[in-house]
Structure 1
Amino acid sequence: NKTLIFPRVSQIQKGGVASFGNAQGKKLWGVVFELSEEGIKTLDRFEGYKNGRKTNSYERKTVTVFDCKKNGMNVITYEANKTGNFTPSNQYMSKIIISICQRLSKVL
């Protein structure tokens, strides 16, 4: 019951940047990466998240996701606090697609 949205705008990415939103009956596909604690801290910085700060660009959340065999697992994700509807740049979308393809090539 989630869908891909672009609720924030980034000057660096020159357009909308990704998050997820509620969408009854929709499925949002993604990729799961295993990160060290240091990797999570680095990702927190990139996503504008600081634990305990009153306002963050994105909130870090633990959610349950399911693999193609319907096995559930708890993962960390980031959900945007700001809502809007911005168009992502072609360059930004290419980064997303390339990273998914790279991940898929490792598991297929």
Structure 2
Amino acid sequence: MAKKPKVTAPAKKEVLICSFCGKHKTQVRNLLTGPGVSICNECIEAAVELIDNAGWEVARTPTDKALFIADQERLVARKTAMLGLWRQQLSILAAGAPPRSENAMH
């Protein structure tokens, strides 16, 4: 007995249009697509212009170097504060007064 050819369903044609302006992919220069959404180059340009004219700043994540510098500045500030406290304690001890304990109950 001869085998019957397998019948397959016709492939779905995806209609690629911009999710924002509705233009077909043939009407625009570029169309970026993602899962369930597309955006054309014209809508991207309009969004960039809107952001530029509104004066918004794009948030940027700090670089490793910027984080390192900030950590170093915090360490220097902490060391400076500790040195100030130690100098204060030394001057009190040099004057002959008993050291004041912050944790002692009076």
- The TM-score with structure 1 as length reference comes to 0.20
Higher relative contact order (CA 8 A, sep 6+): 1
Bigger Rg over Cα: 2
Q: Which structure has greater strand proportion? A: 1
- The TM-score with structure 2 as length reference comes to 0.20
